[in-house]
Structure 1
Amino acid sequence: MRLDTWTSSNRATIEKHLRASGALLLRDFKVPDAPEFERVFGGLYSDLVTEHERSSPRHRIAGNVFTSTDHPNDQPIFLHNELSYATRWPLRIAFCCIIAPGTGGETPIAPIRSVTRNVPAAVRERFREKKVMYVRNYGRGFGLSWQESFQTDDRATVEAYCRSAGLVAEWEGVNQLRTRRVAEALARHPETGEVLWFNHATFFHVSTLGPSLRSAMTEQLPAHDLPTNSFYGDGTAIEPDILDTLRDAYERAKVTFPWQTGDVLLLDNMLTAHGRAPYSGDRRVAVAMAQPVDVGRAG
């Protein structure tokens, strides 16, 4: 199938598959570079979106195409749904393998339907009642600066964004900023109507970090001063056994596959979580996002 025909002739089939399974790997498409990836993905979805309220380091490589992450290659990235901590997120997300890694470097995925079932009903109900609080800190020596996260140097622009996004912003001096937001832990899919486990409570919690990085941060910063951390909505700590249960819910649902150069992975971002395995050698995986959904539309 030619790259210039598959998006128009097969969109209905692709959308049906994504609603059913949440993920579609397109192999042997041999997409050569980021501009072609943007053209192909943009032919399928006209409303490509840029990132906002960034939580991972990345950079633009073509138009609305970015590196998947610039996180150190020896550290894993836990499974998560893109921007599930925000009030707006992409319903569709796509990855393209421009250079396959030497070893490792998979993008593991996990069906959120399975994750939701794996989270015990009592835990789901606890979060339904208490919700989840995301606390983020900028300018304390770890993580992104507020300038990089919000993609601006203007404090007034940041404050306006925070007001519109339900974030409480607290400045300390010129470069230190703390934001807090209380959010639902579950969300309704706008197309299928399913209520799904959709949040960053596990991903943002300090206990999900690798041991060395976690130790380096917690030795210097208290819980509410860490770059990212999560709590119950009332600000109380999430119990360690609950966090272990949540991590296990994702891990038991995890599926992996090896990247091949030119692969394109399409995901329904609410139906499928993604992560990244450590790797060696060169690895270049691009990401693009589309179909923005806000909290109100997700119900």
Structure 2
Amino acid sequence: MDKVVFDDGETLPLFIKPKNGQDSAEFLINWIGENKELMRKKILEYGAVMFRGFKINEGVEFERAVTQVDPELCDAYRGTSPRKQVPGTEYVFTASEMPPFYPIPQHLEMSFLAAPPRNLYFCCLVEPVGPGGETALCDFKKVYDEIDPAVRQKFEDKGVMVVRNYKKNWSVFNDPTQLKGWPEVFNTEKKEDVENECRDTLIDFSWKKNDGLKLVNKRDAFENHPDTGDRIWFNHLQVFHWYMIPDEFYRIYKRVGQLRYLIMSWIMWFIKLFFLNVIGPMNCGLHTCYGDGTEISNAENKHIRDVTWKNMVFNRWKKGDIVMIDNYRISHGRQPYTGRRSIVVAWSKPYLRPSLREKSE
């Protein structure tokens, strides 16, 4: 305990730093192994824990450190962001292969699924040298608490419906929210395998012309935290609604004052309005509406995103940083960046949403 320093500031995350020069990867791996129960308690208490100042240089070292506290990681990824497995590891992937100018809004990893990961882990192997590139965090308990009661009740009553439309192959001519084809999402080109997984994970599916695939699933907008029972804003609205892309660029422009993000906001508004008018929101690459199929208004979207951005915490990455996140409470996202940057990720096994556990009992 006296070999590291705990720095619990007023905002996320809890920082743990080396003491007396004990900063090697081997020391950290052993220390986490000796204090795994303490780490689990700290992750639960703070929502996110950041190890800073340790010499973590490779994905293998990160994987060894993470498996000390969470020995049952998972390599199945059913999210929408393109990723690549890190050589020499079994459970470590690039955080995203999306272009660096593209923002990733706040979300709980795979929260649109019936069983998202319980915890999430990031590591910085190459820190950003240019502006941007933060993996911002947000406490979605605070978001739930601060949503206008009338808006909150509407989401409580109706839930949300997530719609994803995939072509078989990705193309630059697709809706920009479709980031990969369905064979890459499901790691198979066999339609039967896709159908079986959709049934197992409570996702409605339908095949469209030219081998297109439409996925629809209804979920509660909130969840009770598995350990604390706290009510959590728990859905992908701020990522999967057509409104999000232009609005995210605009908010980034307001934060950093760089004109290119304002221009990107205008471009994305034009592109999204084109797709909305031509094919409709339900046929866009990604969309979210209320569970009864009615649209979530721009005003309601803006309110949710206002509350989210109010509670976001921005920390610049340093090489070797490891952050451990309670994925049932603390969201993450990515700010655009320039220059080099390498962030890798690992996640725990799927954990069935508490609301679905209650329905199955």
Same fold by TM (over 0.5)?
A: yes
Letter in 2 for 1:219: F
2:160 paired with 1:132:
yes
* Mapped contact 1:109–1:274 kept (Cα < 8 A): yes
Q: Give the counterpart of 1:41 among 66, 74, 79.
A: 66
Which structure would you say has the larger Rg? 2
Correspondence list, 1:78-89, <5 A? 78-89=105-116
Unmatched segments (≥5 aa) in structure 1: none
Q: Partner of 2:295 in structure 1? A: 237
Letter in 1 for 2:181: S
Q: CA-to-partner distance for each residue in 1:170-224, whole Å, 9 max, x for gaps?
A: 1013520101111100111111121211111222101001332353244134211
Q: Partner of 1:188 in structure 2? A: 224
State the Cα distance separating 1:53 from its structure 2 match: 2.2
State the Cα distance separating 1:283 from its structure 2 match: 0.6
Letter in 2 for 1:285: I
2:34 paired with 1:9:
yes
* Mapped contact 1:18–1:24 kept (Cα < 8 A): yes
Aligned residues: 299
Q: Equivalent residue of 1:294, what SS?
A: coil
Q: Equivalent residue of 2:119, what SS?
A: strand
RCO comparison, higher one (Cα < 8 Å, 6+)? 1
How many Å separate the matches in 1 of 2:271 and 2:76? 28
Q: CA-to-partner distance for each residue in 1:275-297, whole Å, 9 max, x for gaps?
A: 01111111100000014311257
Q: Give the counterpart of 1:109 among 112, 134, 137.
A: 137
* Mapped contact 2:141–2:231 kept (Cα < 8 A): no
* Mapped contact 2:56–2:321 kept (Cα < 8 A): yes
* Mapped contact 2:126–2:343 kept (Cα < 8 A): yes
Task: Normalising by structure 2, report the TM-score.
Answer: 0.80
How many Å separate the matches in 1 of 2:326 and 2:357? 14
Unmatched segments (≥5 aa) in structure 2: 1-21, 168-172, 247-264
Letter in 2 for 1:123: V
State the Cα distance separating 1:298 from its structure 2 match: 6.0
Q: Partner of 2:239 in structure 1? A: 203
* Mapped contact 1:187–1:298 kept (Cα < 8 A): no
The percentage of counterpart residues that share the same residue type is 31
Q: Partner of 2:284 in structure 1? A: 226
2:208 paired with 1:172:
yes
2:196 paired with 1:141:
no
Letter in 2 for 1:122: A
State the Cα distance separating 1:244 from its structure 2 match: 0.3
* Mapped contact 2:50–2:323 kept (Cα < 8 A): yes
Q: Partner of 1:95 in structure 2? A: 122
Task: Normalising by structure 1, report the TM-score.
Answer: 0.95
